[in-house]
Amino acid sequence: MKTAGKLAAGWLLALGCMFLSLSVSAEIDKYQTLKPLPSGIDGKDKDIQNTEAVYDLDITAKQGLIFGLPTLLIGGWLALGLYRQSKQDKQAIDQKVSENLQSLFYQMVEENQGRISLLGFAIQSQLPPTTAKEYLDIKAKEFNANFKVSEEGAVLYHFDM
The domain segmentation of the chain, as residue ranges, is 1-95, 112-161
CB 156 within 8 A of CB 148: yes
Task: Please say if the pLDDT value at position 49 is more than 80.
Answer: no
pLDDT at 16: 96
pTM listed for this prediction: 0.63
pLDDT band at residue 64 using 50, 70 and 90 as cut-offs: very high
Helices (H) and strands (E) in the chain, counts: 4, 3
CB 30 within 8 A of CB 58: yes
Instruction: Indicate the angle between helix axes 118-125 and 129-143, nearest 10 degrees.
Output: 110
Say which residue, 153 or 109, is predicted with more confidence: 109
pLDDT band at residue 149 using 50, 70 and 90 as cut-offs: confident
* Topology (CATH) of 112-161: Arc Repressor Mutant, subunit A (1.10.10)
Query: Would you mind telling me the total number of residues written for the chain in this entry?
Result: 161
d(CA 153, CA 131): 19
